[in-house]
Chain A
Amino acid sequence: MAVVVFSSELQLFTGEERTEVGACRFKEIVAELVEKYEALTEDKLMEMAVAIDGEIIHTPFLETVGDQSELHFLHRISGG
């Protein structure tokens, strides 16, 4: 099962640092997380970028993750 690691900011909503998810498609992972943590909304997660095994993906909508994958939600970076 893939692991989702929450930033300290998201921990305000989840109350824990990490969790395992059964789904492998990003959309389903989000649904699973929203279902599990009441305070977490789909909008909140969808507006974030995701790092899957270290590769930062700004718009992860269609991504899939592997069994051993580690996921981090993070803020979208822009730049100058």
Chain B
Amino acid sequence: MSEAREFKYIGQRTIRPDGFDKVTGRAQYGADLNLPGMIWGRTLRSPHAHAKILSIDTSKAEAHPDVFAVVTFKDFGSVEGESINAGEGAADVLDLARNCLADDKVLYHGHAIAAVAARTERVADDALALIEVKYEVLSPVLDVEDAMKDGAPILHEDMFTQGYEETPSSPSNIATRLEMKMGDIEAGFAEADVIVEREFRTPTAHQGYIEPHACTARYDEDGQSLVWCCTQGHFDVRTSTAKLLHIDLSKLKVVASEIGGGFGGKTVVYQEPVALALSRKSGRPVKMVMNRDEVFMATGPTSAAKLKAKVGAKKDGTITAMQGWMAYEAGAFKGSPMMPGVMTMFTPYDCGNVQVEGFDVVVNKCKVAAYRAPGAPQAEFAAEMVVNELAEELGMDPIELRLKNAAKEGTQTIYGPKLKTVGLVECLEAARDSDHYKSTLAEGCGRGIAAGFWFNIGGQSSVSINMNTDGTGTIIEGSPDIGGSRASMQMMAAEVLQIEPSRLKPIVADTDSLPYSQGTGGSRVTFATGMAVIEAAEDVVRQLKERAAAIWNVTAEQVDYVDGVAINTAGGEKMTLAEVCEAAEKTGGQISGTGNINARGAGPSFAVHLCDTKVDKETGKVDVVRYTAIQDAGKAIHPSYVEGQLQGGAVQGIGWALNEEYIYNDDGVMENPGFLDYRIPLASDLPMIEAIIVEVPNAFHPYGVRGVGESGIIPPLAAVGWSVGNAIGRKVEELPCSPPRVLSLIQNG
């Protein structure tokens, strides 16, 4: 769609349909289900970052009168290294199993080894101490650069670097090397009048969802097993869990509870297969809820990275060459988001000479999981920092420099295709024209600006809309609602059916009730599940016309459907949607529309952020004093929740830039696994976050939607980083800009 169109419901700020339950405490989250006869599972975790497991003796724990079952890796039976589609794209089943419960090696501090199910949570916890594990402790590798060195301790003897013309013959911690390039990088730099080059580091950071991973599982001999859990993708939980327990998909029902945040971190399984294995062994329903320290140690984080960025430009600001290098920590098993890092790094720029090389490297830390625009924040941080420095060197306004080189329709990307219509220029212009950018910077403050690019994805979504005899309906979707998406689904269906949104009840159905739907992630739900909703609603309209036509004895083509009313163009009669639904019994049975799609044509979303910070020169403490987040939504279905995504993403990025980082001691033990020491932003740390929605429609979506969940976390790293450097007259090369680091920059340059 390209021209603007009038909408009846879309673009309004309706009250979300699940809101009442959430403000009253009735909504049930992952840890809120208790079943009759239920017992509790707890996990034994490795005290070492790297060790061989010589033996595990569970007999004492099993002998405890209140312990019902103990499981280890062996309880998964034979697991083979094959690729399954589980959560964030393809995953290796063996790696997945070995992350849920270690096989012959523990690979990070907190790595799960065994689990116990007992009458109470406390007994289960106590019984963990009865399990005897003998280790041969190995030296850990904790840093991406150390891990890449020759002679580094090797995590996996069977890992050989992929991505070279010839695969090396000795094992390495480098899982993959990837290079992408276009044009002639040498010639590009030769043309440049100014070249800027720097190295950067970003820390391990966690998604930090407030709800810990939790599940309740009940194994049933009869083939009616149940897993209730908080997840971004319950169909993928079913795939992984069924695979590890060797059961048919139809014999496992996974129910997605309400979910208390995920940001990518709840796309993988940790406890679900273990809880179901405990239930199988004990014959009881088993509940497992992680403690906060387990969440930090053993789930989620995103890659720490080492990066290099180099850009060259002519005096007039034309960028002639862009070059990047990055090494991403994958954690214990291969699969960091280095690849999207390589692909996104310089995508905001229209430059013909680009080369980027990336490495996916295993280290003795928790296996990383997706985190909002996985891989992009680190890479684009490096790129945006050097672009800001380039502007400084050229004496150009950083927005003008970006406008001069901005990616637009037709820009060749490094990953292959040319861009279709995108809204970067519009975002930059909105930034330039904003009150924030026009405001004068207060004394002692710094200002930073940065852009961000994320692809967004489409994928499989299944939706049914069942109409009731009173003209209300239920929208049955399979995408867990993590931030209010049910409201958008309701509005899109209402727009097609032309009835009040509140007449439609959207629900997230379990895996038994709907065909497969990909998880909530990649900013895909409003886009792809929204398309499925529209298709299902159009199917309903088609049936409404047919039914009305049957009553009037005309053809369906002779029936119009306007404002929720079917009109006989031949005879002039009218029937409301409710009347057609009421008559369904007489016209062939109930009305139900479906939309089972594999959506394509996701539209990239660009973002531009502005940040003013004030730095206390005595302590190094940084305060964000003003912040503006601008992003292209394509079309904002529910503007409040779009703003919410922009603001939430911005603040996660601010946390990453300012305070959040994993701290390990030399033995690889994480020293700050709690909210007190891993400090995510508090209400008192922040100003209001000004959100500006830009709307450049995505031609491939009926309403122009792009998806807004992810790009917003990309710009803050450089917007904050540059702003801090600007305030203290230094160049920031390492995040987070925590007080000690800022202080040492001030003092030592």
Contacts and interface: CB of A to CB of B under 8 A. Distances in A.
Q: Real complex partners, A and B?
A: yes
Interface of A: 5, 7-9, 12, 47, 51, 53-59, 70, 72-80
The dominant DSSP class at the B interface is loop
A57 B600 contact: yes
Going nearest first, the 4 A-B pairs with the smallest beta carbon separation are A79-B522, A80-B264, A72-B416, A51-B417
B287 interface: no
Given A75-B339, A78-B88, A79-B373, A9 B163 contact: yes
Interface in B135-179: 163-165, 178-179
A77 B372 contact: no
B77 interface: no
Nearest to B264: A80
Contacts of B419: 54
A78 B370 contact: yes
Given A12-B165, A80-B370, A54 B88 contact: no
Contacts of B606: none
A80 B482 CA distance: 12
A73 B180 CA distance: 13
A79 B375 CA distance: 9
B374 A79 contact: yes
B477 to A, nearest CB: 18
Contact of B522 (A8, A12, A54, A77): A77
A78 B265 CA distance: 13
Indicate the member of B87, B163, B602, B710 with the most A CB atoms within 10 Å. Answer: B602
Contact of A78 (B343, B417, B521, B600): B521
Interface residues of B, number: 48
B455 A8 contact: no
A9 B373 contact: no
A78 B336 CA distance: 12
B340 A77 contact: yes
A78 B374 contact: yes
A72 B370 CA distance: 25
Contacts of B416: 5, 7, 51, 72-74
Contact of A80 (B89, B374, B418, B700): B374
A44 to B, nearest CB: 11
Contact of A59 (B262, B263, B598): B598
B456 interface: yes
Contacts of B638: none
B374 A56 contact: no
Contact of B524 (A8, A70, A74, A79): A79
Contact of A9 (B178, B598, B709): B178
A55 B343 contact: no
Contacts of A54: 417-420
Given A8-B181, A54-B419, A79 B600 contact: no
B179 A80 contact: no
B317 interface: no
Contacts of A72: 415-417
A55 B600 contact: yes
Interface in B300-340: 339-340
A73 B164 CA distance: 18
Contacts of B722: none
Contacts of B90: 47, 76
B373 A74 contact: no
B263 A80 contact: yes
Given A55-B600, A56-B600, A77 B455 contact: yes
